[in-house]
Amino acid sequence: MQNMLTIISNALCRITGRNAGARVVVSRSFADFTPQATFDIKKCDVHRLEEGPPLKAELTREQGLEYYRIMQTVRRMELKADQLYKQKIIRGFCHLYDGQEACAAGIEAAITPNDHLITAYRAHGYTFTRGVPVKEILAELTGRKGGVAKGKGGSMHMYAPHFYGGNGIVGAQAPLGAGIALACQYQGNNQVCVTLYGDGAANQGQLFESFNMAALWKLPCIFICENNKYGMGTSVERASACTDYYKRGDFIPGIRVDGMDVLCVREATKFAADHCRSGKGPIVMELQTYRYHGHSMSDPGVSYRTREEIQEVRSKSDPITLLKDRMLSNNMASAEEFKEMDVAIRKEVEEAAQFATSDPEPPLEELCNHIFSNSPPLEVRGIHPWSTLKSVS
């Protein structure tokens, strides 16, 4: 077999006029990767539904590489944010998303860029999947002028077209998401709004008010609970009398999904989006996921759970490793290809960090700009009567 491969490689070299040193490059360029494969995925638990999402998911090689790139970029970006925070370059609130990357990547793969998304304060991953470059995210974290919100929003307040943040008040995004879904229905544009919240917000009264209104008006809203097992430092078992968050809509259908598998998340979100677009009203999704960091950078994350627990999830359920192993075992990519992607991603994140630490801070005269979207310049009251701050739209 080896002799046959050598003969074929030599023949290719003669035909293409390449020398022997180019053999590896030639064989790599035309490697016979599997272009598409079908995978078994975990069955979703359902509530008030006759059937749930499919039990199989198709994945093309291009999709797999793209999902890997997205998740690995978010992972490296969050680890860089951790480093910058410990160096006291990033200050204030900072909630990291590493471990939960399959949620953001899977949801984005199932909706369109014109659909809408609003989330809580753990927002960096969704900011990236909604199209904001890494350098603008890191620059926002360091409070620089080149940040996505001009350095004035910080970790919890990043925005993009059809992405509404980043909300610092627990559960406050739920009624806003229902309102965005109402706008979609009113405009008749066949769009949906993905409204995300955590298990820590699942007992908020405003969430149930939003459920009620969305059900009454049959709003195209996908309510998604990212259940990462802990609300700050409190386990879900200690915080909720009922931990079946997908059933919490009561009169609203629900599905519980493996949030560590990007294909499970993608198929479930497609199912939910189709449900909403068909005029059936809202649906509740629970994504069972896990965060590797603490609640925020001020939380070491090991006082209420053990290091062994975190390591077990990393070793058995890591979303990036799961996708990578699937692709390798089905000859959809090579280990060298993943290594090359990792190197490129590290380089991108390093360059973004350089930008985020060298870009200037916004000047004081821009502090109050953009209070209103379209209005003539207006004076803004400062901390003393002699303030001369202005807001320019």
Residue for token pair 């990792």: 342
pLDDT: is 364 or 196 the higher one? 196
Residues 373, 369: Cα–Cα separation, whole Å = 9
Taking residues 139-156, what's their average pLDDT? Answer: 97
Residue 198 has pLDDT above 60, yes or no: yes
Comparing 23 with 152, which gets the higher pLDDT?
A: 152
**Strand-pair partners of 287:** 226, 257
Closest by CA position to 180, among listed 132, 121, 224, 118:
118
Q: Which one, of 62, 111, 391, lies nearest residue 271 by Cα?
A: 111
- 42 with 264: CB under 8 angstroms? yes
Q: How far apart are CA 228 and CA 137, in angstroms?
A: 23
Instruction: Report the distance separating Cα 257 and Cα 245, nearest Å.
Output: 11
With tokens 């350089």, the residue in question is 354
Residue-wise pLDDT tens digits, 281-298: 999 999 999 999 999 999
Residue pair 222/192 in contact by the 8 Å Cβ criterion: yes
Residue 105 and residue 159 in contact, taking contact as beta carbons nearer than 8 Å: no
Rg (CA), the chain: 23
Cβ neighbors of 175 (< 8 A, separation 6 or more) are 206, 209, 210, 213
Give the per-residue pLDDT at 31.
Answer: 58
Asked if residues 167 and 118 have their Cβ atoms less than 8 Å apart, the reply is yes
In percent, the amount of the chain with pLDDT more than 70 equals 92
pLDDT, residue 375, reads 85
pLDDT tens-digit series, residues 332-353: 999 999 999 999 999 999 999 9
Phi, psi of 125 (to 5 degrees): -60, -45
Mean pLDDT across 304-327: 97
| DSSP state at residue 42 | P
Q: Would you say residue 6 has pLDDT above 50?
A: no
In which residue are the tokens 């753990």 written?
122
Q: What is the CB neighbour count within 10 angstroms for residue 33? A: 13
Supply the angle between the helices 134-141 and 61-86 in degrees, to the nearest 10. 20
Look at residues 127, 131, 64 and name the one whose alpha carbon lies nearest to residue 320: 64
With a threshold of 0.75, does the pTM exceed it?
yes
Q: Across all residues in the chain, what is the average pLDDT?
A: 92
pLDDT digits (tens, 9 = 90+) for 221-266: 999 999 999 999 999 999 999 999 999 999 999 999 999 999 999 9
Map residue 40 onto helix, strand or coil. strand
Residues 308-334, mean pLDDT to the nearest whole number? 97
